[in-house]
Structure formats: structure tokens, C-alpha cells
């Protein structure tokens, strides 16, 4: 079910507990970047924030980072869905997301793993369109809806976040517990 509108009560918050700064990513070293990790015991969530420049290397790097985080959290059962859904929302952010950086936020909400990809083009909302068999694009939102438990978009005056949830069983020895 794709929803549009605000989901502030379930939206990733503003992390403030721990910040680690690294050099900005570059074509020669795309793994460098800005990372912010926050832990909040009050609501049981853990956030990871990754900020990358909008570039052609973005979707691949985002997909690898998010999949790696899910693997670290012990979420093997949803890795393929995480990889596919992240690839779709990251590619849309790079292709249609304005000129600013792309921000990725990972969160835990009880039995849900959330990925939210933020960009600077709130007017460029995702659309569902019928794709012909010969089309090489245009299936992303259908794929996102098919492989996730929930997905949607949240907008503000200056940004947009396309997000998805996947239900999972968090291992008891996960870094999030």
C-alpha cells in the first residue's frame, strides 16, 4: 500500500546522540561519506543517517551500505527485499531528486525495518505508470510496493522522503537490541 502524506509519528527523528564525520565521497573513493548514528532507548529505535552527493555512483553505494547495515543487524531473511527496494528509491532520488545531497535514514520500529531516502525535490513525487514489456524503466514503484510491507512518501517545503517498511524478526544479539 503506497501512502502519500505525513507520517511524523513514525518518521525517522533527528539523531543527536552520536556523530562521526568522514570526508565527502568522491568518484575515486565513494565509500567515504557523512555518517550519523543515533541510539534512542526511549522508543526502541536505532537510526543510521548517511548523506551522499547526488551522482551516478549514488544508487550502487546506497544499496551496498543499506544492505550491509541490514546484514550487520542480522536481517538475512529480508536482505533481497532490502537490496531491491533500496535500489529503486535511491535511483529515483538520484534521477529525479533535485540538485542537493541524498540522505538515507535507517530505523527500527518494533518489528519493522525502515529505509527512508530523502532528496531536495519535493515537487517530483513518485508515480505509478504502466510499463510495456519493452520499456527499460518505469517499474520501480510497482516493484517497491510488491516487495515491501508498506511504502510511502513524506514531503516538506524543501525535501521529500520516499520510505518503505519491511517486517522482520530482530535477532536477540542484533546491535539494535
Is 90 among the domain residues? yes
Q: Is the pLDDT of residue 7 over 70?
A: no
Q: What does DSSP assign to residue 8?
A: G
Is 37 among the domain residues? yes
Any idea what the CATH number is for the domain that residue 143 is in? 3.30.565.10
Is 70 among the domain residues? yes
Which residues, including other chains, have CB under 8 Å from residue 135's CB and lie 6 or more apart? Answer: none
Confidence of residue 39 (pLDDT cuts 50, 70, 90): very low
Domains contained in the chain, number? 1
SS3 content of the chain, % helix, strand, coil (to 5): 25, 30, 45
Please state, as a whole number, how many other Cβ atoms lie within 10 Å of the Cβ of residue 119.
25
- Helical segments of 41-96, H only: 58-72, 79-96
Is 176 among the domain residues? no
Is 173 among the domain residues? no
Q: Which residues pair with 128 in a beta bridge?
A: none
Distance CA 83, CA 110 (A): 21
Which residues, including other chains, have CB under 8 Å from residue 157's CB and lie 6 or more apart? Answer: 122
Is 157 among the domain residues? yes
Is 175 among the domain residues? no
Least confident of 15-19, 29-33, 131-135, 138-142: 15-19
* Domain extent for 133: 2-167
State what percent of residues in the chain have pLDDT above 70: 64
Is 120 among the domain residues? yes
Residue of 113, 25, 30 lying closest to 66 (CA atoms)? 113
Amino acid at each position: 500500500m503506497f501512502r502519500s502524506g505525513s507520517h511524523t509519528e513514525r518518521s525517522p527523528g533527528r539523531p543527536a546522540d552520536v556523530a562521526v564525520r568522514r570526508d565527502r565521497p568522491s568518484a575515486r573513493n565513494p565509500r567515504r561519506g557523512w555518517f550519523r548514528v543515533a541510539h534512542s532507548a526511549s522508543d526502541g529505535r536505532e537510526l543510521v543517517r548517511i548523506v551522499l552527493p547526488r551522482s551516478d555512483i549514488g544508487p550502487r553505494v546506497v544499496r551496498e551500505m543499506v544492505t550491509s547495515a541490514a546484514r550487520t543487524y542480522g536481517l538475512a531473511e529480508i536482505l533481497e527485499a532490502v537490496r531491491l527496494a533500496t535500489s529503486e528509491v535511491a535511483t529515483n532520488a538520484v534521477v529525479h531528486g533535485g540538485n542537493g545531497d541524498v540522505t538515507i535514514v535507517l530505523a527500527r520500529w518494533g518489528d519493522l525495518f525502515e529505509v527512508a531516502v530523502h532528496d531536495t525535490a519535493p515537487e517530483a513525487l513518485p508515480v505509478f505508470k504502466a510499463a510495456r514489456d519493452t520499456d527499460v524503466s518505469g517499474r520501480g514503484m510497482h516493484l517497491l510496493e510488491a516487495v515491501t510491507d508498506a511504502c510511502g512518501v513524506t514531503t516538506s517545503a524543501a525535501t521529500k522522503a520516499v520510505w518503505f517498511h519491511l517486517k522482520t524478526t530482530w535477532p536477540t544479539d542484533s546491535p539494535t537490541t
